[in-house]
Amino acid sequence: MEKFDLAVLGGGPGGYVAAIRASQLGYKTVVIDKSELGGICLNWGCIPTKALLKSAEYYDIVNKRAGEFGLSVEGVSFDFKKIIKRSRDVSKRVVKGVEYLMRKNNVKRVKGYGNFIDKNTLSITDADGNETEKISFDKVIIATGGRTKILPNIPVDREKIITSREAMSLEELPDELIIVGAGAIGVEFAYFYSVLGTKVTIIEMLDSLVPVEDREVSETLKKAFLKRGIKIHLSTLVKEAVVEGNRVKVTIEKNGEEEVLTADKVLSAIGVVGNIENFGLEKIGVKTERNSIVVDKETYATNVEGVYAVGDVIGPPWLAHVASHEAIHCVERMHGLDVQPIDYNSIPGCTYTIPQVASIGLTEEKAIEAGYELKIGRFPFSASGKATAIGEREGFVKLIYDAKYGELLGAHIVGAEATELIAELGVAKHLEGTFESLLKTVHAHPTLSESIMEAAGEAYGEAIHI
């Protein structure tokens, strides 16, 4: 039985990052995953969907906006199978990159299902349940991730009622698609399929699209979606979804009234649950709560000594970048390094629709709820020279400051490259910058990022270009 300093269960953005960092710090490390490395993120999430969305975006621009840029294009069409294939190829390529990183960092990679025998031993089995080996270790990080939450009234069959995983590898383009849940995953697929011609209907229980985002942002996205012909039902419950022949019948309830919708397929995108089952967690006595492992969010230690957990399995926010940072932090603390705990108020969130949505920190509503007096700065991309030049005048930057101390409480961007632009606000927040930090930083011209500087100025009446 091979003995390791550290075993990492799960090879996603939490697990493989933990393994690399541990190895860098001199731990003999093994990472165990039943399938490809990279987890949902690289295989069935972040990366392949970005590939799909880029295809859709190019098609959308060429199809709808070529003339605007003085281009004459005729007979534009797409091959859905090729779009899907490109996405799968992109995924395979980045997964290979992770495999290389394991070799480079001398992390042992074990393919198989891990099962705790005790808190220092894992039994590894193949898909048929036969034990292939046993691994012993001093410490273990559980990074088993999460999966789509499934509700009994929307029984996923992966044929007609599908999850994001199926939605990114369909054989054929559906004519009609109902998406339940208007979080990042729901709206990204709504954009993708509507661009390709599918009639998309979104059903959201709460009263806005991307409900975690600032209301103004949600409204902007809603307008853009309505313009695309996407049907949106907000404050609407799904009573049940039933497969009837080739169709799925979805009964919804809005304002106390029931309505029946039908479509070729229904995509259930209502949330994530942690993967806490089927690997012997209960055997070693690790405490769980609401489908997540309970950890101390400074050390990521569970209640069992030597057992740690990071990523989706410890609960929201279910984001790859959070998992990776938790992983690094967990290993560094384990090693005794003096590191700062993760600031969960400064986690950027990105949604890759057109327009893109990105944010960090508090929304206006949440900031008011928290009792702050606010100073808000906005700058619309329509006032930006660069945005006009590249034909991206939709959207805005909105910065929310605490009026008392000038702290940047939140930043919200909707529009072109929002997901790239948000990084600057992360730095500003991390370094405890004020509006002056952004306003007095020289931003290159012409760039979209100037809009951030202008928004900071606008909050204090010092914007130049608005």
Binding mask 23-52 for another protein (x = CB under 8 A): ------------------------------
Whose Cβ is closer to another protein: residue 199's or residue 335's?
A: 335
Among 370, 436, 462, 464, binds another protein (CB under 8 A): 436
As a whole number of angstroms, the distance between CA 334 and CA 112 comes to 26
**Three-state secondary-structure class, residue 201:** strand
Contact string (CB under 8 A) for another protein, positions 334-373, x = contact:
------x---------------------------------
How many residues lie near another protein (CB under 8 A)?
Answer: 12
**445 classed as catalytic:** yes
- Would you say 182 or 428 has its CB closer to another protein? 428
Q: Does 442 bind another protein (CB under 8 A)?
A: no
Residue 127, interface with another protein (CB under 8 A)?
A: no
Q: Do the bridges between strand 121-125 and strand 131-142 make them parallel or antiparallel, or are there none, so unpaired? A: antiparallel
Q: CA 192, 92, 113, 284: dihedral to nearest 10 degrees? A: -70
- Least CB distance to another protein at residue 337 (A): 11
406 binds another protein per the rule CB under 8 A: yes
Instruction: For the chain, report the end-to-end CA distance as a whole number of angstroms.
Output: 68
Nearer to another protein, 225 or 372 (CB): 372
267 and 179 in contact (C-beta within 8 Å)?
yes
What count of other Cβ atoms lies within 10 Å of the Cβ of residue 261? Answer: 18
Q: Which residue stretch of 106-114, 373-381, 405-413, 457-465 sits at the interface with another protein (rule: CB under 8 A)?
A: 405-413
Q: Pick the binder of another protein from 431, 442, 444, 461 (CB under 8 A).
A: 431
> Which residue in the block uniquely carries the two structure tokens 């690790």?
286
The CA distance from 47 to 254, in Å, is: 35
Whether residue 316 is preceded by a cis peptide bond, meaning omega within 30 degrees of 0, is no
* Closest distance to another protein from the beta carbon of 338 (Å): 9
CA distance 211 to 187: 11
Please check whether residue 300 is in contact with residue 6, taking contact to mean a CB–CB distance below 8 angstroms: no
b/e sequence 291-326, b meaning 16+ C-beta within 10 Å: bbbebeeeebbbeeeebbbbbbbbbeebbbbbbbbb
Nearer to another protein, 337 or 368 (CB): 337
| CA pair distance 436, 112, nearest whole angstrom | 53
Q: Give the integer Cα–Cα distance in Å for 326 and 292.
A: 15
Q: Which of 436/462 has CB closer to another protein? A: 436
Whether the ω angle into residue 355 lies within 30 degrees of 0, i.e. cis, is yes
Q: Which one of 149-157, 251-259, 383-391, 433-441 is the stretch in contact with another protein (CB under 8 A)?
A: 433-441
Q: Which is nearer to another protein, 119 or 333 (CB)?
A: 333
Asked if residue 433 binds another protein (CB under 8 A), the reply is yes
432 binds another protein (CB under 8 A): yes
**CB of 376: closest distance to another protein in angstroms?**
17
| Structure tokens belonging to residue 64 | 């709808």
> Measured in whole angstroms, how far is the alpha carbon of residue 309 from the centre of its chain?
19
Work out how close the CB of 437 gets to another protein at its nearest, in angstroms, rounded to a whole number: 5
Binding part of the chain for another protein, among 59-67, 95-103, 110-118, 429-437 by CB under 8 A, reads 429-437
Q: Which stretch binds another protein (CB under 8 A): 10-18, 46-54, 232-240, 425-433?
A: 425-433
CA separation for the pair 51, 224 (Å, rounded):
21
Q: Which stretch binds another protein (CB under 8 A): 199-207, 219-227, 367-375, 427-435?
A: 427-435
The residue whose two tokens read 């906006």 is 65
H-assigned helices in 1-78: 15-24, 39-44, 46-65
Catalytic residue among 233, 321, 412, 445: 445
Amino acid symbol at 85: K
User: Are 229 and 276 contacting, i.e. CB atoms less than 8 angstroms apart?
Assistant: no
> Looking at beta carbons only, is 314 or 360 nearer to another protein?
360
Span of 14-22, 239-247, 325-333, 430-438 interacting with another protein by CB under 8 A: 430-438
Out of 407, 419, 426, 460, name the contact with another protein by CB under 8 A: 407
Is position 298 an interface residue for another protein (rule: CB under 8 A)?
no
Q: Does 434 bind another protein (CB under 8 A)?
A: yes
- Pairwise CA distance, residues 210 & 391, whole Å: 25
Contact positions toward another protein, by CB under 8 A?
Answer: 340, 404-408, 431-434, 436-437
Positions annotated as catalytic residues are 445
